[in-house]
């Protein structure tokens, strides 16, 4: 499978009508890109609605997002709570989150922030350097079955006073 396999075919497009959404670009479904420019403070509720629409398709997909260190604490908490509450459904259809972090020195911190949020959810999370790498990786994640929640994952320490921005 190569990156061109992500282009929707007429049969795929006819069977799966990915919604046109302000935050999630599903024009290359099953590759769904979070539009960082559409993400504004207070966006978490609208983001949740858009994620529900993607899950309602009941078709495997991958989400690609640029890392946004400027996310508000409230948005981070709301998204984290939703991701944890929907972990079973996400694990069934979301084959992975691919996070783009071009700065090599920031990738470890980004990876840790996402690990905390998705630790027991059963969705693979990969931090990469560019959109090109993300597009090449998406078909690999899509061809695999859903990730199993890790029984050996270290317990996640939660701090009530501080959330890590995604």
Question: Which pLDDT tens digit goes with each residue over 140-157?
Answer: 999 987 765 555 444 444
CB atoms within 10 A of CB 61: 22
What domains, with CATH codes, occur in the chain? 3-11+22-143 (3.40.525)
pLDDT digits 0-9 by tens, 30-50: 999 999 888 899 999 999 999
CA dist 157 and 15 (Å) reads: 42
Contact 62, 30 (CB under 8 A): yes
CA dist 4 and 115 (Å) reads: 29
Contact 75, 166 (CB under 8 A): no
Beta-carbon contacts of residue 58 (< 8 Å; ≥ 6 apart): 93
Residue ranges of the chain with per-residue pLDDT less than 50: 1, 9-14, 152-164
What are the C-alpha distances in Å from 4 to residues 71, 72, 92, 164, 166? 32, 35, 24, 35, 29
CA-CA-CA-CA torsion for 36, 39, 44, 47, nearest 10 degrees? Answer: -60
């Amino acid at each position: 499978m190569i990156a061109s396999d992500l282009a929707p075919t007429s049969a795929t497009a006819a069977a799966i009508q990915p919604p046109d959404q302000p935050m999630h670009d599903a024009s290359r479904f099953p590759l769904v890109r979070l539009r960082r420019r559409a993400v504004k403070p207070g966006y978490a509720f609208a983001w949740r609605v858009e994620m529900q629409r993607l899950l309602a398709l009941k078709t495997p997909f991958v989400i690609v997002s640029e890392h946004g260190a400027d996310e508000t604490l409230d948005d981070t908490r709301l998204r984290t709570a939703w991701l944890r509450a929907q972990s079973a459904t996400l694990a069934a259809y979301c084959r992975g989150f691919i996070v783009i972090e071009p700065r090599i020195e920031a990738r470890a911190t980004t990876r840790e922030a996402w690990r905390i949020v998705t630790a027991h959810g059963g969705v693979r999370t990969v931090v990469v350097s560019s959109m090109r790498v993300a597009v090449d990786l998406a078909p690999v994640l899509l061809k695999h079955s859903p990730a199993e929640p890790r029984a050996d994952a270290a317990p996640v320490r939660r701090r009530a006073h501080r959330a890590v921005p995604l």
